[in-house]
Amino acid sequence: MKDLILLSMQVAGVVLAADFAAGLVHWFEDAYIREDTPVLGRLVGRPNMVHHHLPRHMTHNTWWESNKELMMAMGLLVMGAAWLGCLRWQVWLFALVGGNANEVHKWAHRTRRKNGRVISWLQDVRILQTPQHHAVHHTNPKEVHYCPVTNVLNPVLDGLRFWEGLEWMLAHAVGLKRQPDTSVPGQGTAPGWIAEMRRAG
């Protein structure tokens, strides 16, 4: 029984660590990467802008379209762990959850019918992030609830003003300032291609 409790705690810890890592990436994308950002702009900035303006657009993506960047990063993590001789089940679980974080994110935007019984049940019992919980992230000014896998971390991190503190630190340490989000009223005008996508449905 003791071993089972210890294993359960380890599994929960790894899942929350992956959720936090995915939230960190999500926060950085939202705060600093835009369409004109060198290198990452087209790869990350543009899809992220689309998601903030048209949140359900991502539900049309395939698994690969949703997760390819994270899966490649997790592949590097697994190879690095193997090279260092520390490839344990915890690393595999972290890679599995972290690599599919955008898929779980996508499920929070889909209908229950589209998700099916299993995913909907996992959301109902709060193993996966619920649509209601994730909807808070899309409430202006869209500066909270960055962790996309569970409902656990966001209330804690937001209560501690964790993301706000990181942004303050980066602004004062290296002069990196949060960029305007044109999906938020008063923060600029959306580019023309967003309007075209909106009209296209």
Give the pLDDT score at 127: 95
Closest CA to 105 of 88, 78, 142, 130: 130
In terms of residue numbers, what domain contains 29?
2-200
Give the pLDDT score at 125: 96
Give the pLDDT score at 195: 77
58-62, 85-89, 101-105, 184-188: range with lowest mean pLDDT: 184-188
CA-CA distance, 100 to 94, in Å (whole number)?
10
Residue 58 burial class via C-beta count within 10 angstroms: exposed 0-12, middle 13-18, buried 19 and up: middle
Residues 7-19, buried b or exposed e (16+ Cβ, 10 A)?
Answer: eeeeeeebbbbbb
34-48, 51-65, 68-82, 115-129: range with lowest mean pLDDT: 34-48
Closest CA to 143 of 171, 194, 179, 174: 179
CA-CA distance, 201 to 159, in Å (whole number)?
37
The values of phi and psi at residue 139, to 5°, are: -90, 125
| Structure confidence by residue, pLDDT tens digits, 2-44 | 788 999 999 999 999 999 999 999 999 999 999 888 988 888 8
Domain count, the chain: 1
Give the pLDDT score at 201: 64
Model confidence, pTM: 0.93
- Residue predicted with more confidence, 42 or 90: 90
